[in-house]
Structures are given as structure tokens and as C-alpha cells.
């Protein structure tokens, strides 16, 4: 069985400071991991995904995430927050190697960015 834990329900940063959103996963297989972002009253947009290639994954809008198997983590980072980054972020795991794979979503982390 697969599961995802997002360690913080809310993270507050100031504009221009680094962002760290934490995610730990549990998986029976070699997982794929995703980060999605949801702006208010919008659908979910893919930020980046890890699929067993490079462990450091770069995504859109300056975000990146590092897959660490030993720590079962996939934390999302950005060097400098922008006001437009304020949104809810979901860490997602998918791990079936055969048959049909489905996504398991974390509970989400709300990122608040202050001027």
C-alpha cells in the first residue's frame, strides 16, 4: 500500500525567502512522485514529477524537489518565494509497476506568502 504524509498543513514565508514544503511517502514498489499546485478556485496543476531518473527534479516556476530513498522523502523547495506562489501544494505518490496505478494524494500544505 502507498501513502503520503505532508508534514505541515500551513507554511508561512516572506516574499524573497526560501520555501520548503515537506513530504514523506510510503510505498511497496519503486514509486513515482509528483507535486501539484492548486490556486484558489482552480484545478490542480503539475509542478514536477520524479520517475526514477535523476533524483533532483526541476519543475515549473523555479520549484525543485529531491527524491531521497533512504529518508523516504520528496521535499519541495524554491530559493525565493513570490507572492504568486501562495497556493495549496499536494504531494502525490503512484507506485504500481504492473496493472493499474492510481494516485494517492497528501492532505496538502497551504503556502502563505507575505510582502
Partner 1 sequence: DARVTQTPRDKVTEMGQEVTMRCQPILGHNTVFWYRQTMMQGLELLAYFRNRAPLDDSGMPKDRFSAEMPDATLATLKIQPSEPRDSAVYFCASGPGTGRTDTQYFGPGTRLTVL
Q: Identify whether the C-beta of residue 4 lies closer than 8 Å to the C-beta of residue 104.
A: yes
Q: Establish if 109 lies at the interface with partner 1 (CB under 8 A).
A: no
The neighbour count for residue 110, using CB atoms within 10 Å, is 15
Is the CB of 38 or the CB of 77 nearer to partner 1? 38
| Minimum distance from residue 89 beta carbon to partner 1 (Å) | 13
- Residue placing its CB nearer to partner 1 in the complex, 98 or 115: 98
Residue 80: CB minimum distance to partner 1, A: 26
**Contact between 39 and partner 1 per CB under 8 A:** no
Q: Any bridge partners for residue 32, and if so which?
A: 94
Q: Are 23 and 106 in contact (CB under 8 A)?
A: yes
Q: In degrees rounded to 5, what are phi and psi of residue 61?
A: 60, 30
| Residue closer to partner 1 (CB basis): 51 or 114 | 51
Amino acid at each position: 500500500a502507498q501513502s503520503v504524509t505532508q508534514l505541515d498543513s500551513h507554511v508561512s514565508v516572506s516574499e524573497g525567502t526560501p520555501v520548503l514544503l515537506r513530504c514523506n511517502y510510503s510505498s511497496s514498489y519503486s514509486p513515482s512522485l509528483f507535486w501539484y499546485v492548486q490556486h484558489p478556485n482552480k484545478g490542480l496543476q503539475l509542478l514536477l514529477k520524479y520517475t526514477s531518473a535523476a533524483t533532483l527534479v526541476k519543475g515549473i516556476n523555479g520549484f525543485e524537489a529531491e527524491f531521497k530513498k533512504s529518508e523516504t522523502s520528496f521535499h519541495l523547495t524554491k530559493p525565493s518565494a513570490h507572492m504568486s506562489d501562495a497556493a495549496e501544494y499536494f504531494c502525490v505518490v503512484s507506485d504500481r509497476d504492473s496493472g493499474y496505478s492510481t494516485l494517492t494524494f497528501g492532505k496538502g500544505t497551504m503556502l502563505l506568502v507575505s510582502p
